[in-house]
Amino acid sequence: MPVSHDHQHPPTTPDTSQATGQDVSPDTAPGDHLVLDIGGDVGALVIYATADHDGAEIEISPASALGARSHNVVRTRRTQSAGRAAAVFPALPAGDYIVWRDRVTAAGTITIRGGEVTEFHLG
């Protein structure tokens, strides 16, 4: 289930991602772009989710600091052939991270490597 919490976010503009080498854009803003800031010891993470997660927040945390969670919104992004729901973390320090299914249940562990895009499928 998507993670909910008790703080507000300012309005955001939907974005696009070319993290997987595909031309991707959301239905609502085909001209916007998401820039991945990777290189050195910084990588990126794309979490693919089911369509029912669209608009939900997905949390991750460093495996060594479970309380230090960060989150990003799942958005439907269009490719040339279809739409995919995904959350993108455009710049993460290299290391091991936990992807959280909800506040207490881990969905899995991933490793971020500098200069690379890591993909995770949240079922």
Judged against a pLDDT cut of 60, whether residue 12 lies above it is answered with no
pLDDT in the model for residue 83: 81
Asked if 84 contacts 17 with a C-beta cutoff of 8 angstroms, the reply is no
pLDDT in the model for residue 90: 94
Work out the pLDDT band at 18, boundaries 50, 70, 90: very low
Domains present along the chain, CATH in parentheses: 42-121 (2.60.40)
Asked if 43 contacts 121 with a C-beta cutoff of 8 angstroms, the reply is no
Residue among 17, 20, 40 nearest 93 (CA): 40
pLDDT in the model for residue 33: 65
pTM of the shown model: 0.73
The per-residue pLDDT for range 53-96, each reduced to its tens digit, is: 989 999 999 999 988 999 999 998 776 777 889 999 999 999 99
